[in-house]
Chain A
């Protein structure tokens, strides 16, 4: 997992390596300065005539160290920022690229909001953890080691006292952490649920108000919020033990050292050394530093484990490799718009026990118009999504232009097989920009031509800004029918050999629907057209009508053939036309 993430460091490896190096330098300076100060104080104390001489001598050193520490501190800060922000940038990039490479099946697996959270919050958490690794994780052990070295070099016997305290502190810190961490994790879940309920309330405020449930919602919320408060309070109270325990042990150690140190000096009988009072105070300082490092380390440890979850969620996306990729030596040209399904079976996931499509055999000639009818769950959309290889069939094979779809370069295949999806989206941008998704280099005349075909030209011209009208995110400022026609125009712009409309005119009125079909028949006769529809009228004139039920083809033929051979088709047809004649009858009677 970590390895997957670290691949994203790339060009920021250099700053990532330089940062700890400067960090080492900074720590070194920081550790040497108190030493220098202590030495200066010692010499000044014993200086008889001029205190200035040692001050200037050590002051010079101090300035040198301070300058060095300043320089390395600033550099480390800069490089750390560069490395961690760069790492985050690459992570986001890799995530985004990875999602772009997703197959439809992969897209189904992750929800939009979960992907966005991974790209934002999770990346930010990981970035912080990374920066922490570069800075603190280098800094703290170094300080620790230095403190140990210094205290042992001052007086090994006394320094042992500190070392003896270490296991105590560690045990206590770790047991508090271990006790508290799962607790926190549980509370975080409750906390998330609490925020979730707020979100639900905000989103459903109309429901709340219509049913006059303000009081009920308040009560519900107060209960949940109260629980979160109590749980957090409990956990934080335990956590509040942390610092005092730590200070207690550190101070206890310091007093012990002072006691033993004082006794040692007195027993030596001289203030001048080998163990002086200055040494004693330095020893205490280093000891305290040593133990503080432990505390820091336990903090860092907790922070890192907390960001672990984020890292896992990121790598989950990064490791998701699409199995739909262009083959080597891919064919880049689609000969014609013929389609053939050979014994195709399909299920959405390997462990699904039901096939979404089974035993599909189909032969569509280039330029034919094919209608597909069937109820919900009859796998109409699934069937057509196999053609541009949005999914790979489980058994059998799909052929386009006489070749297996798996042999084509994906881009080339999808360029020739244009699908207008049922759940379609327009993107924020002008109408022109949206249309040019179909063909980036299309001329304005070309745009007008396809919009006329899709019966969109008229209403576009009705907008004050015409083709430059700005479409809001999600296409909320055009009506459903207008959106569908824009989507059709966008697909037409590709000049595909195969055009698939997946229930793409459901919101378009019947007259316009008929006009679109007429335009297709007249203007793009050589394009193979597959139309999924709810209304029989939309597919009545097709060369071939396929009736799907439960993932199987139950009837196939043109309108007249099916009227003769398929009872189901006849029923649907009669039911739908009867309704219409009912209407006209009623309308006519009044």
Chain B
């Protein structure tokens, strides 16, 4: 019957979410259990008290029902046989009525428990999700760089699911199991210490078996997960390169390689399943052997009239065991071993749940992005005497509101887009410096282009301007203010970004453009789309601006997605733009559109362009040629051509850019 519990628990929402079954990936961090319970009981104290009371009531009703038959025989049937039905009729009806009432109560409580648990589980899942997601939004980019996206997702799917199981199934079941075990142990001790020793002995055997078989099971579970991961990686690569496989008629070779991995996965999963499958029957039958052993020992004690010790002895003294006691003991012991079997199935679930919770807490404990900035961005207008005044409406004029603690004054500096980098050093990890002593400036309205090979540090520079990462040494000033003093959110609001890889969100085309500025009207969004040369293709979509985009805009072409991303930046209308050109090849027509859109977007702004094609950088005010994190050449296109240095060689095609 072990399976029953199992399937019941999986009924509501397990459907192989995520990949395969959740398996403890890493060690469970110390204190996880305590923290989890604190969290759960802290938030759902009354609900849990209610649930535990419900469990208590059902356990008691179970206990009572086990004496029901004895009552029926002793108080109704036996006297009834000798005295006739009418004599015991009232007793019988009273008994049946009591039992019905108890059962009804138990049913009600059981339902109450189910309802409460649904509330607790879903509420808890929600708060886990919400807390994780909220936390995730505050994390620095470094976190996303160092964690595989699949692993992050797994926090929300596998880990949350494992924790849910722990809370909704394992804890109540643990509680009721322990209750049953304690009560049965008490009753057994009441009857006979000798027999109880026998039960303890077989319990020890059972736990040893659980440890061994269960340990093997989880060992191979981990192995299975590993081989599944390997096979998945291989499959993904092959599926992606399926057309190349065909062109090279490489099918047989890849099948051969696949078979090896598949065989390994079979090997591991078969073992994992064997150990999982046999645990139930083994524990069950140890219980059966225990039953026979108890019966034999009990029978022997009875037959030889051995003195029996039990708590009962306090009342009745040490007397030989009666056959009634032996039989009562037997029926209780059956209950005892059944409960242990149930517990054995909880062990791995608890381990998985704790491992999941441990990882969830890990995410929640991540250090959020630091922001000590206090200079904020405000709407401004010119006062009568020309000075800047803060205002609440959008004027198109922005100012940095700078509070000076030293003399308790607030100054306003107009947002112009003047950016200076002085001797900046930076590395994503301390051991590896990516930028060395980079200095540059951009006057308002200037266009600065970065040119250089992959890994030269072009993108890195722009990542520092909007403080995706913090510099190790040097200074970056924005309109004369050290960027460290500017509140990150305000700093970023003043910078528009068109990234190399376009990310679109599920929603309509309009929603995606409006992402740039949430209060933009439909007209403003369309205006931006027109500026970005996106209006044309959007209108040709089946539902125009209301066309739903899913899967990162999978139904659009690469070029169209770039146009949308430009429109999104255009609607934000920031004074400074960072444009990272896309590398992927798009056809010449769309490319021209993208280029034109970008040009329009750049108009009148300070712009940083990361160029992957030299054709786009020629009209820049300054071109920085980067090599291994250093600016090796700088100047206008003409100056650099004159220099006949690296840029010249790149330009004439002697060097490859990418």
Given A198-B156, A201-B133, A240-B117, A214-B138 contact (CB < 8 Å)? yes
Determine how close the nearest CB of chain B comes to the CB of A401; give it in whole angstroms: 17
Contact between chains at A281 and B248 (CB < 8 Å):
no
* Structural contact, B247 and A419, CB atoms closer than 8 A: yes
The residue among B110, B265, B588 with the most chain A CB atoms within 10 A of its own CB is: B110
- Chain A residue total in the interface (Cβ 8 A): 178
A388–B88 Cα distance when bound, in Å, is 94
Given contacts A232-B13, A269-B81, contact A74 B278 (CB under 8 A): yes
Contacting residues, chain A, for B130 (C-beta < 8 A): 221-222, 225
B285 within 8 A of A: yes
CB pair B88 A266 closer than 8 Å: yes
Whether B518 contacts A116 by the Cβ 8 Å rule is no
Given contacts A96-B262, A211-B497, list 12 more A-B pairs with CB under 8 A: A65-B288, A73-B281, A119-B235, A120-B235, A195-B153, A202-B152, A202-B153, A269-B81, A375-B587, A375-B589, A418-B247, A480-B658
Which A residues lie within 8 Å of B585 (CB)?
422, 503, 506-507
Taking a contact as CB atoms under 8 Å apart, the answer to whether B265 and A89 are in contact is yes
Instruction: Looking at the assembled complex, report how far the CB atom of A460 sits from the nearest CB atom of chain B, in whole angstroms.
Output: 14
Q: Which of A72, A201, A205, A255 contacts B103 (CB 8 A)?
A: A255
CB nearest neighbor in A for B84: A266
- Report A38 CB to chain B, min CB distance, Å: 11
Contact indicator A375/B588 (Cβ below 8 Å): yes
Also in contact, A303 and B10, with CB within 8 A (given A73-B278, A121-B16): yes
Q: Which of A481-532 contact B (CB under 8 A)?
A: 481-482, 490, 494, 503, 506-512
Interface residues as binary, B29-66 with A (CB distance below 8 Å gives 1, 0 otherwise): 00000000000000000000000000000000000010
With a cutoff of 8 Å between Cβ atoms, the chain B residues found around residue A245 in the complex are 107
Asked if A202 contacts B288 (CB within 8 A), the reply is no
Cβ of A562 within 8 Å of any chain B Cβ, yes or no, is no
Q: Is the CB of B88 within 8 A of A66?
A: no
> Do the beta carbons of A212 and B327 come within 8 Å of each other?
no
A113 CB, min distance to chain B CBs, angstroms: 8
Asked if A85 meets B255 with Cβ closer than 8 Å, knowing A70-B282, A269-B81, the reply is no
Query: With A97-B255, A423-B243 known to touch, is A229 a contact of B125 (CB < 8 Å)?
Result: yes
Residues of B within 8 A of A354 (CB): none
Which B224-251 residues have a C-beta within 8 angstroms of A? Answer: 228, 231-233, 235-251
Known contacts being A81-B273, A85-B273, A266-B80, is A203 close to B503, with CB within 8 Å? yes
Is B12 an interface position by the 8 A CB rule?
yes
A52 within 8 Å of B by Cβ?
A: yes
**Which of the 9-residue segments A99-107, A144-152, A539-547 touches chain B?**
A99-107
In the complex, what residues of B have CB within 8 A of residue A26's CB? Answer: 281
Binary contact readout B101-140 vs A (1 if CB under 8 angstroms, 0 otherwise) = 0011011101101110111011101100110011011100
Q: Kindly list chain A residues whose C-beta atoms are within 8 Å of the C-beta of B628.
A: none
- Flag the segment in B196-204, B294-302, B381-389 that touches A: B294-302
Q: Is the CB of A56 within 8 A of B296?
A: yes
Least CB separation from A481: chain B residue: B656
11 A-B pairs with C-beta separation under 8 A = A73-B282, A73-B284, A77-B278, A200-B503, A244-B110, A251-B106, A296-B3, A375-B589, A424-B244, A427-B237, A474-B240
Tell me whether A211 and B515 are in contact in the complex, defined as CB-CB below 8 angstroms, given that A82-B270, A193-B506, A226-B126 are known contacts.
Answer: yes
State A82–B273 Cα separation when bound (angstroms).
8
Chain B min CB distance to A82 (Å): 6
The answer to whether A262 and B72 have CB atoms under 8 Å apart is yes
A231 CB to closest chain B CB (Å) equals: 9
The residue on A at minimum CB distance from B96 is A259
CB distance from B650 to the nearest CB of A (A): 8
Chain B residue contacts of A207, Cβ below 8 A: 497, 499, 503, 515
B141 touching A73, Cβ below 8 Å:
no
* Cα distance, A280 to B149, chains bound together (Å): 61
The residue from B291, B516, B654 contacting A509, defined by CB atoms under 8 A apart: B654
Min C-beta distance of A491 to chain B, whole Å: 8
Q: How far is the CA of A101 from the CA of B251 in the complex (A)?
A: 8
Complex contacts, B404 vs chain A, CB 8 Å:
none
Partner of A440, one of B68, B115, B253, B330: B253
The A interface is mostly helix, strand or loop, or mixed, namely: helix
Interfacial chain A residues near B125, Cβ < 8 Å: 229, 232
Q: B187-195, B427-435, B488-496: which one contacts chain A?
A: B488-496
Q: In the bound complex, how far is the Cα of B243 from the Cα of A212, in angstroms?
A: 40
Given A51-B302, A202-B149, A265-B77; A210-B506 close (CB under 8 Å): no
Q: Is A115 an interface residue (CB 8 A)?
A: yes
Using a CB-CB cutoff of 8 Å, which residues 493-545 of chain B contact chain A? 493, 495-497, 499, 503-506, 515-516, 518
**Chain B residues whose CB sits within 8 angstroms of the CB of A55 once the complex forms:** 295-296, 298-299
Most B Cβ at <10 Å: residue of A284, A480, A503: A480
* A121-B19, A210-B495, A284-B69 known; A508-B273 Cβ under 8 A: no
Instruction: Determine which residue in B76, B247, B266 has the highest number of CB atoms from chain A within 10 A of its CB, and name it.
Output: B247
B115: contacting residue among A196, A212, A222, A237, CB under 8 A: A237
B440 within 8 A of partner (CB) = no
- Please, what's the 1-or-0 string for B614-658, where 1 marks a CB less than 8 Å from any CB in chain A? 000010000000000000000000110110000000010111111
Residue B85 at the chain A interface, CB threshold 8 Å: yes
Question: 1/0 contact trace for A69-95 toward B, CB 8 Å?
Answer: 110111011101110111011001100
Q: Which residues does chain B contribute within 8 Å of A427, judged by CB atoms?
A: 237, 241
A40 contacts B506, CB within 8 Å? no
Bound complex: CA A89 to CA B323 (Å): 55
Q: Which residues of A contact B270 (CB under 8 A)?
A: 81-82, 85-86
Cross-chain contact A277 with B73 (CB below 8 angstroms): yes
Name the residue on B nearest A285 (C-beta): B69
Partner of A44, one of B80, B107, B233, B323: B323
Q: Taking the complex as formed, is B21 at the interface, i.e. its CB lies under 8 A from any CB of chain A?
A: yes
Q: Do B281 and A201 touch across chains, with their CB atoms under 8 A apart?
A: no
Chain B residues touching A, range: 35 or more
Bound CA–CA A76/B3 (angstroms): 14
B552 within 8 A of A: yes
A270 to chain B, nearest CB (A): 6
- A581 CB contacts on chain B under 8 angstroms: none
B361 in the interface (beta carbon within 8 A)? no
Q: Given A204-B505, A390-B246, A271–B77 Cβ distance below 8 Å? A: yes
Neighbouring B residues of A328 by C-beta, 8 Å = none
Are B653 and A45 interface neighbours, CB within 8 A? no
A367 CB → nearest B CB, Å: 22
Complex alpha-carbon distance, A229 and B129, angstroms: 10
The 10 closest A-B pairs by CB, nearest first: A73-B281, A240-B114, A77-B277, A376-B587, A204-B503, A81-B273, A236-B118, A66-B288, A266-B80, A590-B638
Contact yes or no, B235 A96, CB < 8 A? yes
Given A33-B288, A225-B126, A229-B126, the answer on whether A99 and B239 have CB atoms closer than 8 Å is yes
B258 contacts A233, C-beta separation under 8 Å: no
* Contact call B288/A241, Cβ cutoff below 8 A: no
Which A residues are CB-close (under 8 A) to B464?
none
Question: Which one of A100, A195, A226, A306 lies within 8 Å of B251 (CB-CB)?
Answer: A100
Complex Cα gap A300–B11 (Å): 9
Q: Give A249-269 interface residues, CB cut-off 8 Å to B.
A: 251-252, 255, 258-259, 262-263, 265-269
A119 to B515, CA, bound (A): 36
CB pair B289–A66 under 8 Å, yes or no, is: yes
Complex contacts, B8 vs chain A, CB 8 Å: 243, 299
Query: Do the beta carbons of A96 and B258 come within 8 Å of each other?
Result: yes
Contact B468 A209, beta carbon cutoff 8 Å: yes
Q: How far is the CB of A3 from chain B (nearest CB, A)?
A: 23
Which residue of chain B lies nearest to A136 when distances are taken between CB atoms in the complex?
Answer: B3
In the complex the two chains form, is A216's CB within 8 Å of B247's CB? no
- Tell me the bound Cα distance from A459 to B99 in angstroms: 87
Tell whether B303 is near chain A: CB-to-CB under 8 Å.
yes
Say yes or no: A248-B104 contact (C-beta < 8 A), given A66-B285, A188-B15, A411-B249.
yes
- Cβ of B391 within 8 Å of any chain A Cβ, yes or no, is no
With both beta carbons as reference points, the residue of chain A lying nearest to B641 in the complex is identified as: A587
Q: Does A355 contact B (CB under 8 A)?
A: no
| Chain A residues closer than 8 Å to B96, beta-carbon distance | 255, 258-259
